[in-house]
Structure 1
Amino acid sequence: MSFSIKGRTAIVTGAANGLGLAVARHFVRAGANVVLADMDEAALEREMTEMTADADHVRMFTGDLRQKLSIANLVSTTVDAFDTVDILVNAARQVAGTAPLDPEDTSVEDMLMQNLSTPLRLSQAIARRFIKQAEAGSEGSIGSIVNLSSIAGRRANPELLGFSVANAALDQMTRSMAVALAPHRIRMNGVQVGSVLSASLMGWLRDHDSARQSILDATPLGRIANAAEICDTVQYLASDAAGFVTGQIVTVDGGRTLLDPAAVAVH
């Protein structure tokens, strides 16, 4: 079975930077039509100027996907440009700290809106589009949705309470929605990532030099992932090669979640 997504149309959220941008670029190189969606218009425009050679296969969309109208406009933009949509990658992730004992702290609600409710609503809209454009009697999957989450959802970190809770909820949403969408031949899976060598992490490590060794010590494979390794996993789940895979959370963390943090600290 082929891993190819050539000729498919994909929407990638959070595509102005980080993993969202990495996935969008990866999909373009793989021959897909890609709509880059984000709130950062300036960053998207800069990226579009870098993709002039692929201009026929790339579009940008700027909007706040927490708003239902923006979701509808994103779907319309994609269909107007490429006629269909075949893949959705929910890669937009917001990280914010939490003061767990402060009743005025709204970070949990904010994280749940950005990292759970928004991908859920967008997935519902895209799923309806998948169903509408499916031909009667066609075989196999009619669309694939991939949600990016974090191993923070499996760890107890009070300072990242909102982010951790939202990621745990997103993984459960992926499983539950996969069952709901399966009768319509729509697949939904997740990629749960550990530390990735993004621009933001590299900048943070420059200011926290000892943190790099802590990450390496906590990772059995002894290194930090590069974005391409996450992108390859996303492409697999989006492709026909994963045609019988749904409701799965694929953890790409170098084995980090296999270790007891206490044991790592002792050794």
Structure 2
Amino acid sequence: MNAELEGATALVVGAASGIGRACAEAFAREGAAVVLADIRVQAVRALAEQITADGGRAAAVSCDVTSEEQVEAAVGTAVELFDRLDIAANIAGVQSEHRELADLPAEEFDRVMKINLYGAFFCTKHELRVMREQAPDASGSRGVIVNCSSQGGLRGIPTIGAYTASKHGVLGLTKSAALEYAARGIRVNAVCPGTCDTPMVAGAAADAPAHIRAIVDAIPVGRMGRAAEIAQTVVWLASPAAGFVVGQAIIADGGWSV
């Protein structure tokens, strides 16, 4: 256990599966109380029960990240249950349909933006509102936010223009927030996962198998990432060990972007 996270409160948005679930489990193992937020409320309730049965502290809350009111309520619940909000990991996201940009319906672009970019905005906004008002902890931190971008936030990827645009946007949002709040004891960073063995990627592989196969074939380490590997990167970013890391896009993609 990392003693630096013992007693902290972590909110994980998008905790029902994949990287979000792995983050929730990792924070719980490190001694943090974890609030699990997701639109799939039955899944996060089951995970919260599992964490509690294993000796951790966890609670679940229903949250649709396209609704600012629901995001605000989820953040408020975390504070009500555990008194403060030390860590927020904003992981919720979706893949976009594989289409050439000229054939992409505006409705699909809107759908992806509302979840991936507006969702990150709503989460970051309301997490910052809590963190800027709370007293600093023993390390001087008022809070840490980790947003989930992607390898698609770093370079263009053909046929998933909506997803790529949304994840580039997450990085811009992260950098601006980091500069606004660094002097007030709040660190904001982003993790940029590569192609990982998650339900979202499995769905993309079913939709466009040649596209995913080409990306995996180009990963220098020769395999997809694991959700737990990304979660450990998020835990590190959230810990005092990364106290001098501000406004960064930390890449965990097996070398794909190199």
Superposed pair shares fold, TM > 0.5: yes
Aligned in 2, Cα 1:124/1:211: closer, same or farther, shift over 3 Å?
Answer: closer
Per the TM alignment, residue 66 of structure 1 is displaced from its structure 2 partner at its CA by 2.1
Confirm or deny: 8 A CA contact 1:3 1:239 kept in the other structure: no
Range 119-128 or range 200-209, more displaced: 200-209
Aligned to 1:162: 162
Normalised by the size of structure 1, how large is the TM-score?
Answer: 0.86
Supply the distance in 1 between the matched residues of 2:194 and 2:21 (Cα, whole angstroms). 17
RMSD of aligned alpha carbons:
2.5
Supply the distance in 2 between the matched residues of 1:146 and 1:116 (Cα, whole angstroms). 14
- Tell me which amino acid in the other structure corresponds to 1:95: Q
Task: Tell me the SS of whatever aligns to 1:61.
Answer: strand
Q: How does 1:127-146 map to 2 (within 5 A)?
A: 127-134=128-135, 140-146=140-146
Aligned to 2:184: 184
- Tell me which amino acid in the other structure corresponds to 1:254: G
Q: How does 1:115-126 map to 2 (within 5 A)?
A: 115-126=116-127
Supply the distance in 1 between the matched residues of 2:232 and 2:56 (Cα, whole angstroms). 23
- Across the two proteins, how many residue pairs are aligned to each other? 256
Per the TM alignment, residue 67 of structure 1 is displaced from its structure 2 partner at its CA by 1.9
Aligned to 2:228: 228
- Tell me which amino acid in the other structure corresponds to 1:32: A
Per the TM alignment, residue 156 of structure 1 is displaced from its structure 2 partner at its CA by 2.8
Unmatched segments (≥5 aa) in structure 1? 259-267
Larger Rg computed on CA atoms: 1
Per the TM alignment, residue 72 of structure 1 is displaced from its structure 2 partner at its CA by 2.4
Aligned in 2, Cα 1:55/1:38: closer, same or farther, shift over 3 Å?
Answer: farther
- Tell me which amino acid in the other structure corresponds to 1:159: T
Range 183-192 or range 212-221, more displaced: 212-221
Normalised by the size of structure 2, how large is the TM-score?
Answer: 0.89
Supply the distance in 2 between the matched residues of 1:230 and 1:115 (Cα, whole angstroms). 18
Confirm or deny: 8 A CA contact 1:3 1:240 kept in the other structure: no
Task: Tell me the SS of whatever aligns to 1:241.
Answer: helix
1:190-229 Cα shifts (integer Å, max 9, x gaps)? 1101111224445766898877764443112222211221
Range 225-234 or range 84-93, more displaced: 225-234
1:93-123 Cα shifts (integer Å, max 9, x gaps)? 1112155224743222222221112211221
Aligned in 2, Cα 1:107/1:79: closer, same or farther, shift over 3 Å?
Answer: same
Unmatched segments (≥5 aa) in structure 2? none
Supply the distance in 2 between the matched residues of 1:80 and 1:74 (Cα, whole angstroms). 10
% of aligned pairs identical? 34
Aligned in 2, Cα 1:213/1:39: closer, same or farther, shift over 3 Å?
Answer: closer
